Amino acid sequence: MAFKILIFSALFVCLLSVVTGQRTPTISHITQEQIRDIGGQVDLDCSVHYANEYPVIWVKYDRLKTTESIPLSTNAGLIIRDSRFSLRFDDATATYTLSIKDIQENDAGWYQCQVLISISNRITAEVELQVRRPPIISDNSTRSIVASEGESAQMECYAGGFPPPKITWRRENNAILPTGGSIYRGNVIKIPSVHKEDRGTYYCVAENGVGKGARRNINLEIEFAPVVTVPRPRLGQALQYDMDLECHVEAYPPPAIIWLKDEIQLSNNQHYRISHFATADEFTDTTIRVITIEKRQYGVFTCKAQNKLGSDEGKVELFETIIPVCPPACGRASYGDAASIAPSPATLAALLGVYIVHVVRRVFNSRH
C-alpha cells in the first residue's frame, strides 16, 4: 500500500507541474476484447494524442469495485513486479503496449488505460481480457436431496468457466428422466410430484469446449411407504419338517418388519427363526423358518412392514402335505426327542406309492 501511495503521489506532483493551456489529451485507440487460453500471450494497445506532458498508465481494475485497482505501468516503465508483464512504447504512434505472457486464470479481467489530467480528472478507456477456463461445478449446486413420495423436488447445478458452460442432466444408465427423455438442458430440473421410481443418481454435466468438462453426481432419495410382495403365497410341508416362508419389502426409510400368526407377533425361539436380509437400494428380504412343523402351526402367516409413511403386509399360507418338500427338508425330519431320520430313496418311493394309492381310492369311492 505504501508503494502505491508513493507512486500516485509522484504522479500527482507531475500533474501539478504541467503547464496549463495545452490541448486536452485523448485516447484514440484501445484494443478490443481479447480471449486467450491459459499459458497464452496477449498485447494490449493504448494510443493517445496530445499526451506528451501527461502521465499515461495501465491499471487492472475491478468494475464491481470489490477490490482495489492495481497499477501496472506509468508512461514507459513497469510498476508491477512480475516477469510475465512487459511494456513497449512506440513514439511514432504514441502507443503504449502492455504485454502479458504465460497467461494465468487470475489475469482475466478489465485493463484500463488512463491519461491523468489532474488529481480529480482523468481520461480512460478499457479492454477486457477473457481467459478460457474449463468448467468447475459451483458449491451452490445441489449435492443430495430427500423428498417424500408425492412432493415436489428441485435440483440445481451451476458452473464457472469461460466460455460460460452449458449444463445438461442425465440419469444413471441413461434412464429416462422425470421430465421425459434421457437428457435435460438447463441449470434447474424440477419434478412436480416425485415417485419412488425417480430415486437414484442424477448426473449434472457442465461443458464449454475447454478440457473434459465437469460432472457432479446428485443423489435423489425418495421416502415412500412399504410395499410388500409375496413370491410364494401358498407353501406345503409335511409334519415334523422345516419350511421357509418369504416376503420381499421395498421401503424408505427402512421399515420395522414383524411376522404374525393368528394376530400374535412371532419371535425367535425353538419353533421359529426370523431373518432379514437387506439387498440393493431399499429392498429387504425377510424369511421366517417354521422349525419341526406341528399341526397347530399350519395356517396363515403375515409379514408386516411399517415406517413413518405407512405400512403394508403380505400373507403366506402353510398347509400340510404327506410328502416332505425339499428344500429345506431335504430328507431330514425330527419326531419329538427321537434322533433325526434320513429316509432312503426307496423309502420315499414307497411313501409316494402309498400316497398315489390313497388318491386313487378317494377318486374311486367318490364315483361310487
Cα-to-chain-centroid distance, residue 14: 59
- Band of the pLDDT at 180, cuts 50, 70, 90? very high
Domains annotated on the chain, with CATH: 2-132 (2.60.40.10), 138-224 (2.60.40.10), 230-359 (2.60.40.10)
Q: Is the pLDDT of residue 196 over 60?
A: yes
Q: Which amino acid is at 266?
A: L
Q: For 237-257, what is each residue's pLDDT tens digit?
A: 999 999 999 999 999 999 999
The stretch 193-198 carries a mean pLDDT of 95
Q: Are 207 and 168 in contact (CB under 8 A)?
A: yes
Helix (H) or strand (E) holding 304: strand 299-307
pTM (2 d.p.): 0.67
Using DSSP, state whether 34 is helix, strand or coil.
strand
Q: Report the chain's terminal Cα–Cα distance, integer Å.
A: 118
Q: Is the pLDDT of residue 337 over 60?
A: no
Residue 25 has what DSSP assignment? P
- Residue 186: its pLDDT value, please? 97
Contacts of 96 (CB under 8 A, 6+ apart): 45, 46, 47, 48, 56, 58, 73, 75, 76, 87, 88, 89, 113
Q: Which of 94, 89, 75 is nearest to 10 (CA)?
A: 75
Q: What grid cell was written down for 64?
A: 464491481
What's the CA gap between 61 and 108, in Å, rounded? 11
Contacts of 197 (CB under 8 A, 6+ apart): none
CB neighbourhood size of 74 (10 A): 22
Helix (H) or strand (E) holding 98: strand 95-100
What's the CA gap between 286 and 335, in Å, rounded? 28
What's the CA gap between 266 and 304, in Å, rounded? 11
Helix (H) or strand (E) holding 363: helix 345-367
- Asked if the bond preceding 165 is cis, omega within 30° of 0, the reply is no
Helices (H) and strands (E) in the chain, counts: 2, 26
Q: Are 132 and 162 in contact (CB under 8 A)?
A: yes
- Residue 327: its pLDDT value, please? 81
Could you identify the residue written with the cell 513497469?
78
- Band of the pLDDT at 68, cuts 50, 70, 90? confident
The stretch 189-200 carries a mean pLDDT of 95
Q: Are 209 and 163 in contact (CB under 8 A)?
A: yes
- Residue 12: its pLDDT value, please? 46
What's the CA gap between 114 and 230, in Å, rounded? 81
**HEC assignment per residue over 186-248:** CCEEEECCCCHHHCEEEEEEEECCCCCCEEEEEEEEEEEEEEEECCCCEEEECCCCCEEEEEE
- Band of the pLDDT at 101, cuts 50, 70, 90? very high
- Residue 13: its pLDDT value, please? 37
Q: For 271-288, what is each residue's pLDDT tens digit?
A: 999 999 998 778 999 999
What's the CA gap between 287 and 259, in Å, rounded? 9
What's the CA gap between 44 and 107, in Å, rounded? 13
Could you identify the residue written with the cell 508513493?
6
Contacts of 338 (CB under 8 A, 6+ apart): none
